[in-house]
Amino acid sequence: MLETHVYEREVVGEEGDSLSHIVAMLTEPGDVLDVGTGSGALGRYLRQQDGRLIDGLTYNQAELERAQPFYRQIWLADLTQPQALDVLGERRYRYIVCADVLEHLADPETVLAALTKRLAVDGELVISIPNIGYAGVLAELLAGEFLYRNEGLLDRTHLRFFTRKSLLRLLDGAGLGATQWHSVVRPLPWSEFAPKYLDHLPPQVQRYLCAREDAHAYQFIVKAALGVDTTLQERLAPQNAPHFMAQLYWSTAAGDASFAEAASVRAFGIAGLGRQTLRFELPAGLAPLQALRIDPADRPGALELFSVRLRAQDGTVLWQWQPRDGGIDALGGMQRLPATHGEQAAFFAVFDEDPWLVLKLGQQVAAAMIEIELSWPQLPEAEVLAQAQRLCNAELARLGAESAHYRQKGAHYRQVAAWYRQEAARSSEEVVRNREEASAMAAQLRQQIAAQSEFLEHMKAQNARDLQSMQALQEELAHARGMLQGVRASKLWRLGRWLGLTKISL
Looking at residue 442, its pLDDT comes to 73
Average pLDDT over residues 343-354: 81
Stretch among 142-151, 302-311, 334-343, 438-447 having the lowest mean pLDDT: 334-343
Looking at residue 4, its pLDDT comes to 54
Alpha-carbon distance of 280 to 287, in angstroms, equals 16
Q: Where are the domains of the chain?
A: 18-31+92-226, 243-378, 391-466
User: In terms of Cα–Cα distance, which of 159, 36, 145 is closest to 103?
Assistant: 159
Q: Fill in the DSSP letter of residue 298.
A: S
Tell which wins on pLDDT, 496 or 438: 496
Looking at residue 69, its pLDDT comes to 93
Looking at residue 413, its pLDDT comes to 76
Give residue 472's pLDDT band: very low, low, confident or very high (50, 70, 90): confident
Q: Fill in the DSSP letter of residue 149.
A: B
Average pLDDT over residues 437-464: 80
Average pLDDT over residues 288-312: 90
Give residue 300's pLDDT band: very low, low, confident or very high (50, 70, 90): confident
Give residue 250's pLDDT band: very low, low, confident or very high (50, 70, 90): very high
Tell which wins on pLDDT, 52 or 383: 52
Is 243-378 in CATH node 2.60.120?
yes
Looking at residue 284, its pLDDT comes to 87
Residue 333's region, left for phi above 0, alpha for psi from -120 to 50, else beta, is left
Alpha-carbon distance of 345 to 306, in angstroms, equals 4
Query: Is residue 422 classed exposed, middle or buried when 0-12, 13-18 and 19+ CB atoms within 10 A define those classes?
Result: exposed
Contact (CB, 8 A) for 255 and 223: no
Looking at residue 350, its pLDDT comes to 83
Average pLDDT over residues 231-251: 66
Give residue 255's pLDDT band: very low, low, confident or very high (50, 70, 90): low
Q: What fold characterizes domain 18-31+92-226? A: Rossmann fold (3.40.50)
User: What average pLDDT is seen over the chain?
Assistant: 82
Looking at residue 131, its pLDDT comes to 96
Looking at residue 141, its pLDDT comes to 92
Contact (CB, 8 A) for 163 and 214: yes
Contact (CB, 8 A) for 272 and 297: no
- Contacts with 146 (C-beta within 8 Å, 6 or more apart), sequence order: 140, 154
Give residue 352's pLDDT band: very low, low, confident or very high (50, 70, 90): confident
pLDDT above 90 for 162: yes
Average pLDDT over residues 373-391: 61
Average pLDDT over residues 297-301: 78
SS3 content of the chain, % helix, strand, coil (to 5): 40, 25, 35
Looking at residue 231, its pLDDT comes to 56
Looking at residue 2, its pLDDT comes to 41
Give residue 254's pLDDT band: very low, low, confident or very high (50, 70, 90): low
Give per-residue pLDDT as tens, 102-112.
Answer: 999 999 999 99
pLDDT above 60 for 382: no
Tell which wins on pLDDT, 107 or 484: 107
Angle between helices 135-142 and 203-211 (to 10 degrees): 140
